Amino acid sequence: MAQIIPFFSPAARQSRADAQGALIAGFAARRRSQEDVFWLKENAELLNILECTGADVRAEALAPLQPFYEGAARHISFFRQYYRFILSICLDLEDLGLPGQTGAQIAQWVCAQGLPAAELSDLQRAEARRLLARRGIPLRDDGLDDRLRSFISRPQTFAIPNKKAAYELTHIVFYLSEYGRRDPGLPAAAVTSLEFAGLVAFLDQNADLLAEICIAMRYAGQQTPAAWEAWLDRQVSAYMLAKDEFCGLHDAYHEYFVTNWLMLLSGRPAFRQPVPLGAVHVSAQQGGSILRSLSEAVFDAGTARASWSAVKARVEAALNEEQHRILLAAERSCAGFAGFFEGFARAGSAGAA
């Protein structure tokens, strides 16, 4: 039977260092095998957050990843389709204090093998460029930054539910800003895109995506809506960490990671729940999205009504009390809601004059 560790259990308080050690050990050795791509993904994400937030990680906390680091050259040669995950893990381990030069060596190998040339996506090429640059290896791709900025400077793309596009938006900002280390040079339209994507995520009550959007806004030097971060703060307090329950299924680990990442950036308490030793299963609060109800109400309003003022009363009448509360909070969260809604409404008809 799973052991549930409740929020701020007085009997199980941990230092941040102990929590970091438990997280690293649990994800390194107790959830998946190293041959599983999801092992690579989970560990790369955890280490990336620790590295880019400047975490002070004890040497012994990194010990569970030492065997992977020592075998990384063979691992990346065989699993070269996952080279970005493997290289990222090695670079972050070194930058967090693990002795060695494996990261630089396999970065040279990645460049010599031309692995980034096999990427079709500009986003993946941008990630590869960033990883290689961390060890002084330039990856030339003329026009890459212009294409990235062009994609994120079309706010109407992000005014409708499209999680893939929204996550690409956040990661483009991460790479252009070097995870907050430099000004990403976002055009005003790209800032609007972040705001629109954030409104969709808030209406969806999607803590994972909204946290990434808030992080990207901070990295772009923008002020995040207080209502978004206040809601995410409450979400962080509600996670439940169960010991020895993970059985290879997907859980809320990524949401747990990125919301706590935001807490670190915003100066709020992070990783509030004690982390049990062993395999950890992360549970989060579910539900609350009003996107379906809102979309249905807008669609039923007809083809010619694009403005928020024209359909507000009809939309509100179609929602229950809790849904109306979320909609009102979204409307009040930022000044651009009316502009967002014009894109969200998708009025008109294809081919009409």
Quick: pLDDT tens for 281-303: 999 988 789 999 999 888 887 65
Answer whether residue 7 shows pLDDT above 70: no
Q: What is the pLDDT of residue 353?
A: 58
CA-wise closest residue to 162 among 150, 151, 148, 149: 151
Q: In sequence order, what are the residues at sequence separation of 6 or more whose Cβ sits closer than 8 angstroms to the Cβ of residue 143?
A: none
Cα dihedral value 173, 179, 184, 189, nearest 10: 30
CA-wise closest residue to 291 among 327, 266, 317, 257: 327
| Per-residue pLDDT reduced to its tens digit, 226-269 | 999 999 999 999 999 988 777 777 899 999 999 999 999 999 99
Answer whether residue 317 shows pLDDT above 90: no
Percent of the residues in the chain that have a pLDDT greater than 70, as a whole number: 94
Select the more confidently predicted residue: 54 or 285.
54
Residue written as tokens 């990434």?
A: 212
**Could you give the C-alpha distances from 73 to 58, 67, 78, 102, 131, in angstroms and in order?**
24, 11, 9, 7, 16
Q: How many residues does the chain have?
A: 353
> How far apart (Å, rounded) are the C-alpha atoms in residues 21 and 248?
21
CA-wise closest residue to 82 among 115, 121, 131: 115
CA-wise closest residue to 194 among 220, 168, 213, 219: 213
Q: In sequence order, what are the residues at sequence separation of 6 or more whose Cβ sits closer than 8 angstroms to the Cβ of residue 181?
A: none
Select the more confidently predicted residue: 39 or 312.
39
User: What is the distance, to the nearest Å, from the Cα of residue 24 to the centroid of all Cα atoms in its chain?
Assistant: 18
Whether 13 and 274 have beta carbons less than 8 Å apart is answered as: yes
Ordered alpha helix ranges (H), the chain: 16-29, 37-52, 66-70, 72-78, 83-95, 102-113, 122-133, 144-152, 155-158, 163-176, 188-204, 207-219, 226-236, 253-266, 291-300, 308-317, 321-333, 337-345
pLDDT band at 5 (very low <50, low <70, confident <90, very high): very low
Query: Residue 283: beta bridge partners?
Result: 240
Answer whether residue 12 shows pLDDT above 60: no
Q: Residue 178, class by beta-carbon neighbours within 10 Å (0-12 exposed, 13-18 middle, 19+ buried)?
A: middle
